[in-house]
Amino acid sequence: MDQNLIEEILNRLSLVEVASEYLKLTRSGSEFKALCPFHQEKTPSFTISPTKNLYYCFGCGAGGNLINFIMEMEKLDFNQALEFLAKKAGVEITGKNYQTWDKLYKIMDQTADYYHRLLVKGYAPQYSQYLEKRGIDQQMIKTFKLGAAIKKVVPKFKEKKTDLADLEQAGLIIKKPRQTVERFYDRLIFPIFDVKGRIIALGGRSLKENTTKYVNSPQTPIYSKNRTLYGLNIAKKHLDKTRKVYLVEGYLDLITMHQYGYPNTVASLGTSLTSNQATLLSRFTDQVIIGYDNDAAGIRATQRAISILLKLGMEILVLNLGKYKDPDDFLRNNSSPENLSQHSISWIDFMFNLNPLNTPGAKKKFAHQIKDLLSDIDDSVLKIEWSKQIAYRLGLNPSYFYTPANVTNHKNLSKPIISSVKNSKNTVLTLIKALSTRDDHIGAKAVKFLKSLNLTSPDNEFEPDSSLLAASSQSLNKFIQAEISRLEFCDTELAEKSLQKYIKKYHDMIKKEKCDQILDQIRQAQLQGKDTRKLEIKLDKILREK
Residues at the interface with Zn ion (CB under 5 A): 36, 38-39, 57, 59-60
When the beta carbons of 19 and 36 are compared against Zn ion, the nearer one is: 36
Tell the smallest beta-carbon distance from residue 483 to Zn ion (Å): 15
Q: Is 29 left (phi over 0), alpha (psi -120 to 50) or beta?
A: left
- Report yes or no: 256 and 135 within 8 Å, Cβ to Cβ: yes
- Report yes or no: 234 and 258 within 8 Å, Cβ to Cβ: yes
Task: Give SS3 for 497.
Answer: helix
When the beta carbons of 39 and 507 are compared against Zn ion, the nearer one is: 39
When the beta carbons of 38 and 400 are compared against Zn ion, the nearer one is: 38
d(CA 302, CA 297): 9
Tell the smallest beta-carbon distance from residue 53 to Zn ion (Å): 18
| Secondary structure in 3-state letters for 142-186 | HHCCCEECCCCCHHHHHHCCCCHHHHHHCCCEEECCCCEEECCCC
Alpha carbon distances (Å) from 422 to 380, 432, 465, 499, 507: 12, 15, 11, 19, 13
Task: Give SS3 for 63.
Answer: strand
Q: Which amino acid is at 430?
A: T
- Report yes or no: 269 and 293 within 8 Å, Cβ to Cβ: no
Tell the smallest beta-carbon distance from residue 46 to Zn ion (Å): 6
C-alpha closest to that of 68 among 51, 43, 85: 85
Task: Give SS3 for 299.
Answer: helix
Tell how many helices (H) and how many strands (E) occur in the chain.
24, 16
When the beta carbons of 36 and 82 are compared against Zn ion, the nearer one is: 36
Tell the smallest beta-carbon distance from residue 338 to Zn ion (Å): 32
When the beta carbons of 45 and 467 are compared against Zn ion, the nearer one is: 45
When the beta carbons of 36 and 248 are compared against Zn ion, the nearer one is: 36
Query: Maximum CA pair distance of the chain?
Result: 80
- Report yes or no: 223 and 207 within 8 Å, Cβ to Cβ: no
Tell the smallest beta-carbon distance from residue 71 to Zn ion (Å): 15
Tell the smallest beta-carbon distance from residue 35 to Zn ion (Å): 9
Tell the smallest beta-carbon distance from residue 532 to Zn ion (Å): 53
d(CA 468, CA 483): 12
When the beta carbons of 36 and 377 are compared against Zn ion, the nearer one is: 36
Tell the smallest beta-carbon distance from residue 60 to Zn ion (Å): 3
When the beta carbons of 36 and 234 are compared against Zn ion, the nearer one is: 36
Give me the residues paired with residue 290 across strands: 247, 318
Tell the smallest beta-carbon distance from residue 498 to Zn ion (Å): 18
d(CA 518, CA 417): 12
When the beta carbons of 60 and 381 are compared against Zn ion, the nearer one is: 60
When the beta carbons of 57 and 247 are compared against Zn ion, the nearer one is: 57
Alpha carbon distances (Å) from 307 to 242, 319, 339, 374: 23, 16, 27, 8
- φ and ψ of 240, to 5 deg: -70, -35
When the beta carbons of 40 and 179 are compared against Zn ion, the nearer one is: 40
When the beta carbons of 39 and 87 are compared against Zn ion, the nearer one is: 39
Tell the smallest beta-carbon distance from residue 240 to Zn ion (Å): 13
Tell the smallest beta-carbon distance from residue 45 to Zn ion (Å): 6
d(CA 275, CA 311): 9
DSSP summary character for residue 273: -
Tell the smallest beta-carbon distance from residue 38 to Zn ion (Å): 4
DSSP summary character for residue 343: G
Strand boundaries in 244-341, DSSP class E: 244-248, 265-267, 287-290, 315-319
- φ and ψ of 318, to 5 deg: -130, 135
